[in-house]
Amino acid sequence: MQAALTATGLVCRRGDRLLWGPLELALAPGQALHLTGPNGIGKTSLLRIAAGLLRPFAGAVERSGAFALLDGALALDEHQPLDAALAFWRRMDGGPMPLERLGLHTLLDVPVRYLSTGQRKRAALARLIGQGARHWLLDEPLNGLDDAGVALVETLIAERRAQGGAVIVASHQPIALDGAAVMDLRTHAA
């Protein structure tokens, strides 16, 4: 079975400071990795490198299949009602967004700027799902969510993995990822 993501000799540098590396990583379809470590150690950088949005200082990443990234950037027009803001991405990505399941169906006429932190996270999840990517890269996916929201994210991840998607989660919060590998970036600090 071909790996969803393979990283070899990966090194991350920010300015003159080496954050971590070299790092080796192989993630097969259906597997999950939980990235841990303190703020500033480079968890988000690793996700951005895995997504192809940031070049590593050294090393290489190989991807198989489409990857979608959920990070702190909501990427929704703050002045639009939620439905119109999501409609832009529905036209771009073409995939269905489970708005009722995410608890967003009653908020479609609310301007994005008035959404709570948890509602914004759910909107970001709708966009992530709508992209239709096989594999997910999730940066602090539980921030701002209540217990029901956390359980929903854990269920969505489990479903993605059951469908053969690989998932990397960077999170300070405990998250249920059955059988996931855990990588503390402190052990790879330069």
Q: Please give the order of strands across the beta sheet that includes 17-27.
A: 17-27, 5-14, 58-63
Structure confidence at residue 189 as a pLDDT band (50, 70, 90): confident
* CATH superfamily of the domain spanning 31-53+66-179: P-loop containing nucleotide triphosphate hydrolases (3.40.50.300)
How does pLDDT run across 72-120, given as a tens digit for each residue? 888 899 999 999 999 999 999 988 999 999 999 999 999 999 999 999 9
Structural domain spans, the chain: 31-53+66-179
- Distance, in Å, from the CA atom of 190 to the CA atom of 181, rounded to the nearest integer, reads 21
